A and B are shown apart, each in its own frame.
Chain A
């Protein structure tokens, strides 16, 4: 320990940093009226150094930790002289082309002063009720340029030396649709910064500014040291991951290569599609933040989230692509668009690296909650009051399967470790609508040795709008392309589904998609629509990705899933190769063994030796490639299921595996049939174990990972 502070004081101050953030978050929740802030935890509070560097990151949406840092840096660089950064000033910032993620996620940034000297900043964000864009609520599926996406500023002083600038504040309120609720959003943010500032000052007073600053610096050094050490403990090589954004009229590809060398990690997005017509684009700092949202909890779970974590990481994002767009590309759907895709890829690629390490293999996870099928509503109540209300369902999420356990059913997401939905009753109390059902979806989780967590489906109808229609804004991705991808042979979670039922059978109280009916049924994905009284909107999310070959799943686990209604009997048989006697609550073991052998034979198009249906004893060499592959001491690639050496030294293993381009519905029901997306399945040529699955569109090739060196 190089810090001049003794270890006990160090621990006390570290503890206080978290407490400052926690108190600020409570202040934010207390004042905010918005269910997505209070119940969904769509927010963030973090502390920054005097130069804008991330000092201590809080919880909430983690892609904001680094982006707000960039915003603070911008304010220092551009406004320190004019109009100046004074004690008790507050800056409003939401420009994505400079630092932020999308217009409605507003940063309020407050400098912290101690004895006349600038000592740091506190910044927070909430998703404000409205930002004055073409569509109500801040997500603008109808925008084609950022100029249609509402009020955006690279820094606007709304509080000057402790006094609210009424002219500025009212100018902003003048452009938004629901100034009352939006005022409350900003007030909650002001309250949070105020609390954090006061608590930091008290900390300086109690322990001295030098002690506090030295602890902050030491924490950054410590995080950097530990992350560099952790990276050096992982193998060197390059790994690849790919996802698609299925938009109306276009499909975009995001390609990521991660190069791990020694104690550094470089993310390279070469090969990614040009920027999109619709608002799913990411600016550079949004991509940077989106990479870190999974890096913090997956790679840096046990260190302080600060600048130290970011130092060993590099980003290459080609210009004018969806991961580094240029004006006037629209960006308002970035958070649930490309940012989420980057979250998914960052999760997947870290997990691939972990999976190649004996030491860290248990950190590998498939993608969690691949697509926010978020819904915003707005309109007039029966009494004629205007409202904007996001539904919080997307915060339920679903866990990806891990190397040692199933994904958590309705288990949340990685980029926001504290998300949750609001109760139906609390949603109905605040929004003029009625839920018909809200339930887990069988077979929605990605099949695998460990199953992805299931997601849910729900349906609602207007209630309390009188004769007024209920406005609904949708911007769905993943209705065709899977996004909750599996890992090491695991299959993806289901596709997102949106259906609108006109003049529906609501008085029969339908309780799932099958029982929901109407005079007309329309599939939706993107844009705005209106529900008349009696119409129903249905939404299904995307279950988490699976881990490992589904026929490697323990038959009893499949039985338990079936008994809980999380997997159907048909999927058990077709995908997991498990034949159930559900009425007796047992597995037909003989039929299961037969079925699993049959699946192996179908995979190879030839019969497979019966003894290969069980995993053989294969001595680990310490050079793990993934769940089912390793490199032998002479450099060849070996299947660790059957011991077969697929590839002699040096060759890329996928060229020697049996590859099958399968319809994505191979992963189960609720996956789109006959789409132009494929799963490229790679099987061991001898035992037919599913070694890996890649998602591909059209003729896109399988992905090749290369491992150069394992740490000794």
Chain B
């Protein structure tokens, strides 16, 4: 999250007031199994006195999402999802329902590969032969596409199955080679990197976004698919902005290389917190929702709404 917000590593905890516009959605399946098992082993070996008071709260599965929200003071919706291998749909699901007008969503996922996690992962029935769990994390900041000027955007392709017939060929496909549509280039992250399980979906979307933002962006949509036979398959399309020159700020880069004089405070580094200009986000715009009480009601809600969904609910084409 620090990197995605362009903050220096280990930037300190925000002392600012809670920002009610930013939601956090985190996903991890095995993120706390090591803690859970260590507590049980400690109890067996030495009783309660061996259990650290600082450790036991981490046995709760939601510690990842709540910690990020507390650290960065993100006061909108806070969701911790633990749902197997189909994280791409969760990414989209959460984005669609958290991205109210003028509100980014920090989306992250994290997966460990400690011995406990490896042991539980080995029980995964739908695991591909030879694939191993690997530790990793990814984060993406999502917001309504009409607010950004050049950032790549997501489209859901098919939320319930594999790619539909509308996608017959893509320049780049990211996902298991058995399930991606025909592509000039295939990136099977599970084979190349390893399986990040709960973090795989967000990582794949972040990869796709990077390809879209490369100096020579992919000519056409990038297909992203993940999941497994047990949890189902979910897919997304990531597109670069048509007619927008590649933004050099969106290239592959190294971890934060803070230039002299650059701010350390993440609020200074991410002006959208203040509602001002941001090179890739643009000014916060007036919500494009229907007018009237319905709109006020939806806007006042702490998230969840999208303009298109609201319009559809109201019968507006």
Partners in one complex: no
